[in-house]
Amino acid sequence: MANWVPLWLHRLGSPPVFYRFAGAVRPWAFGLALLLGAVALYGGLVVAPADYQQGDAYRIIFIHVPSAWMSLFIYGAMAVAAFVGLVWRIKIAEVVAMESAPVGAAFTLITLVTGSLWGKPMWGTWWTWDARLTSELVLLFIYLGIIGLYHSFEDRRQGARAAAFLVLVGAVNVPIVHFSVNWWNTLHQGSTIRLLGPSHIEASMLWPLLTMMVATKCYYVASLFARVRADLIASEGGKAWVREIALGQSGNDPA
Amino acid sequence: MSQFLAMGGYGSYVWTSFAAFFIVLLIDTLAPLARRRRNLRELRARLARQENRRRPGTPPSNESNA
């Protein structure tokens, strides 16, 4: 591998470098998320035809499924960052892990709410204690537990280390959520999109779904970077580079 | 247009879902921006207090030095 890749990652581990990098990337990631999200919604709500069984109610899939993917993807990203933070004690990795949790919790909440709103007309019930729904609810509680543990310590780094352990322990729930529809046959349908083999979906419905998936990924980057920047201002408040930002521009800092 | 909004009779479920999606993400977008501004403001106040303790009698604003 080229030498500049680890070198660049090493430099990015420095809080002021990451702060500037995050500030530069955030507006682009957010803009891309808005653009792709708008295209995906147009494709999903206007272009794609109604489902032959579910009519127009199936259109909830275009936000429900990407949100559910994000609830697991963000947990994976958070677990990697927590592991790196615990092993190598890289401060930025700890902050990235801790600030991922609220975004993951937001997507998990969206998944549960939209799933409930989809379940009522299709299954005839808002909620059922089936494997997929229950494990997703547990995922929300794990996210909230991580956020709570992080904020319950006076010392932020101590809190981050304790919560990072919880992240790694809670990771056992991720495969349970993912495979629950295969292991237990209940109300929730199986996977529609499959990485291996053909997907059970029409192309006109597939492309808005995949576009929304990319949009939510971009959104995660934008939201995470905004959170990391806010976190660094507080946790690095004693450092000269943060003082310069605080005193340099009075209030309205671009980006 | 009204046919589009009706969503084949499932309009209330579909639009409530999309509203939940956007409201949650809007809060998630605005919260960290406000938190960063608040953190900067608190840091400025703390630095002003420290400056005041170091040189008593100096008002916390920079303009008095001029």
| Structural domain spans, chain B | 24-54
Smallest Cβ–Cβ distance between A55 and the set B8, B17, B47 belongs to B8
Q: Mind listing the pLDDT tens digit for each residue in A2-61?
A: 678 888 888 888 999 999 999 999 999 999 999 999 999 999 999 988 888 888 889 999
Residue A83's domain comprises 42-48+56-229
Residue ranges in chain A assigned as alpha helix (H): 4-12, 15-42, 61-88, 91-123, 131-151, 156-170, 173-183, 203-235, 240-248
Q: In the predicted model, what is the mean pLDDT of residues A189-212?
A: 81
pLDDT at A205 over 90: no
CB B10, CB A55: distance < 8 Å: yes
CB A177, CB A136: distance < 8 Å: yes
Tell me, what's the pLDDT at B64? 45
Q: In the predicted model, what is the mean pLDDT of residues B41-59?
A: 85
Question: Using CA of residue A116, residue A117, residue A121, residue A125, what is the dihedral sign?
Answer: positive
pLDDT at A153 over 50: yes
CB A149, CB A163: distance < 8 Å: yes
- Sole residue written with tokens 């349970």: A176
Q: Is residue A235 part of a domain?
A: no
Q: Is residue A30 part of a domain?
A: no
Q: Determine whether the interchain pair A230/B33 forms a contact, defined as Cβ–Cβ distance below 8 Å.
A: yes
A–B: how many Cβ contacts below 8 A? 101
Q: Is residue A19 part of a domain?
A: no
Average pLDDT across chain B, whole number: 85
pTM of the model: 0.90
Tell me, what's the pLDDT at A4? 81
Q: In the predicted model, what is the mean pLDDT of residues A113-140?
A: 92
Q: Is A87 exposed, middle or buried (0-12, 13-18, 19+ CB in 10 A)?
A: exposed
Tell me, what's the pLDDT at A192? 75
CB A99, CB A228: distance < 8 Å: yes
Q: Is residue A239 part of a domain?
A: no
Smallest Cβ–Cβ distance between B17 and the set A55, A114, A234 belongs to A114
What is the phi/psi pair of residue A34, to 5°? -65, -45
Number of domain units in chain A: 1
ipTM of the complex: 0.89
The CA distance from B50 to the nearest CA of chain A, in Å, is 12
The CA distance from B21 to the nearest CA of chain A, in Å, is 6
